[in-house]
Amino acid sequence: MLENSGPFTEESDLHTPLIPATIFRAYDIRGIAGSELTSDIVELIAKAIASEALDIGIDTLLIGSDARLSSPVLAKALIKGVLEAGCNVIDLG
């Protein structure tokens, strides 16, 4: 299990990516890896998900990925965002 080092602190960042609304679907988030789903965008989404989890008392999130070539990079960004938001991670691979 990976443990967080505490909640992230907000810093002004002029390079915060815009998240395309088209990636949000009724039951999931889908997009083209590398363009619609970049590491920066995935990290921001992870921070939001982790923040919501913490708000309802969940402090550990399970993260898994599939065999796509983009999975390792996106999983790393997801884990980074979750940890920076203050949650722990169990990486299922």
Choices 3.40.120.10, 3.90.550.10, 3.40.50.1820, 3.40.50.280: CATH for 21-91: 3.40.120.10
- Report which residue type is found at 30: R
| Domain residue ranges of the chain, discontinuous segments joined by + | 21-91
β partners of residue 41? none
The pLDDT of residue 9 is 46
Mean pLDDT of the chain: 90
Question: For residue range 58-69, what is the model confidence (pLDDT) as tens digits?
Answer: 999 999 999 999
The pLDDT of residue 43 is 97
Q: How confident is the model at residue 17 (pLDDT cuts 50, 70, 90)?
A: confident
Note the helical H segments in 1-93.
39-55, 71-85
Whether the Cβ atoms of residue 44 and residue 81 lie closer than 8 Å to each other = yes
